Structure 1
Amino acid sequence: MVKHSIRNLFLASVISLTLAACGNDIKSDIILLDQAVSQSGMNDKTMTELQKEIAAARSPEEFTVAAGKIRDQYQRYHQAINALNFKTDEVRGIRDELSTQSGELVSSLDEFVNLNIRSSVSYTPVQADRVHATIARAENQIQTSEKNTLQTLKKLQALGKDNGVDLQIQ
């Protein structure tokens, strides 16, 4: 009887330690992802500065340069999160979603930056239509990517909360 109680206590301890270790893996993966994002320069201060630069642009050329800086920032973020190896499927899945979304965003910004918007040269009607269509498509893709990214970050925040990591996501 005592033998069974000790064995059951031992099994319960092993199960508890195993579950705790899994929780620690998720926690450490979340912290790793958060650190990589921060180290890539993706933070509120950087994004606010880039948004101010976009808002201050007075010509299509200045706007394109600012959009290029935003693209470059998202490219660094995209590369940083793709370079990570996680222990848990939960965080790996969230990283994969964020990677897809940031890749789409970089691609849309790339398309816009490479559009060759010229403020001083008139466009033919066909060229003007192409420019407007490309801008509209890029804007739509950017908005969709940002919305999806926010939803994914909320999932990461909830997973973090469940595992004792307080992520500040707006």
Structure 2
Amino acid sequence: GKSILKVSGKNVVMNRQLPVGLFKDKKSDATAVFTGKKSAIDFWVLDGNEFNIYELKAKNKMVGILTEIFFYSNYMRDVYWHNSLETKQNVKIRNPKKTDRSYNKLCDGIKNITKITGWILADEFHPLITDATDAVINIMNDNGIESELQYNKKQYDLKIDINVHK
């Protein structure tokens, strides 16, 4: 079948579960600005100067996949790439350890990115997302910062074979 991910093969860093918590002054439950303990980008790929963020769903055709990828993509643009929230609001990003999940490579490369693409991946999409014209994705892409932030979707076939042995 066709590959879901297309990468250049050069300077590619890929990993999973990037935490997206944001805290005022210090990391604690009481200082959480939004999205706390378990919120994370499902997986991500830093491909040269392009940063791809993926929200993955299986057997879960919710329209909420759009709000998730919208939030995560703008969060990465504002907090990590442009640092606008971090510097203006004295907030702390919930970071994994520098050695976990290639986080150090992401931190090193994020300042050099030129584009973020938020991808929604699912075996089946909600009817509002699956229309032939992709109207919702087109509206999201008409965002005034088209050169920096875009959205896309890809559907995949979910085939799971499970053998249970006694």
TM-score, normalised to structure 2, is 0.25
TM-score, normalised to structure 1, is 0.25
The structure in which a higher percent of residues are helix is 1
The structure in which a higher percent of residues are strand is 2
Q: Name the larger-Rg structure.
A: 1
